[in-house]
Amino acid sequence: MSNFLQVNNIQIIYQTPTEETMAVKDVSFSVEEGQFVSIVGPSGCGKSTLLSCIASLTTQQKGLILLQGKDIKTQRSDIGYMLQSDNLMPWRSIYKNVLIGLEIRNQLTQENIEYVNSLLKKYGLWQFKDSFPARLSGGMRQRVALIRTLAIKPKILLLDEAFSALDYQTRVNVSRDVFSILRKENKTLVMVTHDIPEAISMSDKVVILSARPSVVKKELNIELCDIDPVNRRNHPAFQGYFNTIWKELSQ
Ligand code: ADP
Ligand code: MG
């Protein structure tokens, strides 16, 4: 479906007792079902603010965000949101961690539990289900966090710098895992990153924002389809995409 997610003329202003900060001036873009879209822009330009608005955690002053044609604020339970920190609870086993979203929503049905079991098995975590987070590597923990997010069957996933706490090699490997898991599960992804290679290697489209208060400077389609993030980095087209984004961000 085209225009699965529509971000229309969003403006976001932070108000504190002493001042107003316009973080996002006027941002519009759309995302098709199953598409992976990255948002890049200079530090402090409002990327996280915009993503938390899509997640319905921040309210905009102007504009509207629609998911399948309806105000996204009425569909919060269809949104999966993942941050840099995996936020796993150290005192709960991996299994209890991945079930927490369903537990909170009172949705621990047989069907949902079987779905979680299948994800753990498919993505190499079943044998660790009774372990505690401290025993797992950073990359595995981030995969657990992803499965915890997928457990609630979100229609759309939002990732805010989700890999930036990981060392370089782990980060590249985790981005490949996340890419392949989300493609296989037919998910739609909107992610924020300050890392240009990560944006190109993960996405079908990159939305480039200006400095604060942000507007869209350019949308760039990445025509590398199902080439995985690691192989994309060696693709002949990669450098051209990199140069285009770099130039936009430097202007
Ligand atoms: P980015 O993720 O692109 O680095 P942010 O969305 O975090 O940028 O921040 C955009 C701007 O909004 C920054 O100038 C930041 O200082 C400001 N800002 C972010 N959160 C708040 C807040 N809760 N209150 C006031 N200003 C904020
Ligand atoms: Mg941010």
Residue with tokens 């409002």: 46
pLDDT above 70 for 1: no
C-beta 44 within 6 A of ligand 1 = yes
Rounded average pLDDT over 52-67 = 96
Rounded average pLDDT over 107-129 = 95
Report the alpha-carbon distance of residue 168 to residue 166 in Å, rounded. Answer: 6
The whole-number pLDDT of residue 161 equals: 94
> What SS3 class is residue 166?
coil
How far, in Å, from the CA of 51 to the mean position of ligand 2?
Answer: 9
Which protein residue's CA is at the shortest distance from atom 4 of ligand 1? 44
Among the bound ligands, name the one nearest to the CA of residue 45. 1
Those residues with Cβ within 8 angstroms of residue 173's Cβ, 6 or more apart along the chain or in another chain: 139, 230
Rounded average pLDDT over 67-86 = 92
Which pair of structure tokens corresponds to residue 159? 């990732």
Whether residue 21 contacts residue 188, with contact meaning beta carbons closer than 8 Å, is answered with no
C-beta 23 within 6 A of ligand 1 = yes
The CA-based diameter of the chain, rounded to the nearest angstrom, is 54
Percent of the chain at pLDDT > 90 equals 86
The whole-number pLDDT of residue 135 equals: 95
How far, in Å, from the CA of 44 to the mean position of ligand 1?
Answer: 6
pLDDT above 90 for 84: no
pLDDT above 70 for 2: no
C-beta 54 within 6 A of ligand 1 = no
Rounded average pLDDT over 206-210 = 98
Average pLDDT, the chain: 94
Whether residue 205 contacts residue 221, with contact meaning beta carbons closer than 8 Å, is answered with yes
For the ranges 81-90, 95-104, 143-152, 207-216, the lowest mean pLDDT is seen at: 81-90
User: pLDDT, tens digit, for every residue of 157-202?
Assistant: 999 999 888 889 888 988 998 999 999 999 999 999 999 999 999 9
User: pLDDT, tens digit, for every residue of 234-247?
Assistant: 999 999 999 999 99
Which residues does residue 6 pair with via DSSP β-bridges, in sequence order? Answer: 30, 66
> What SS3 class is residue 49?
helix
Which pair of structure tokens corresponds to residue 20? 């107003």
Burial of 133 (0-12, 13-18, 19+ CB in 10 A): buried
User: pLDDT, tens digit, for every residue of 4-32?
Assistant: 999 999 999 999 899 999 999 999 999 99
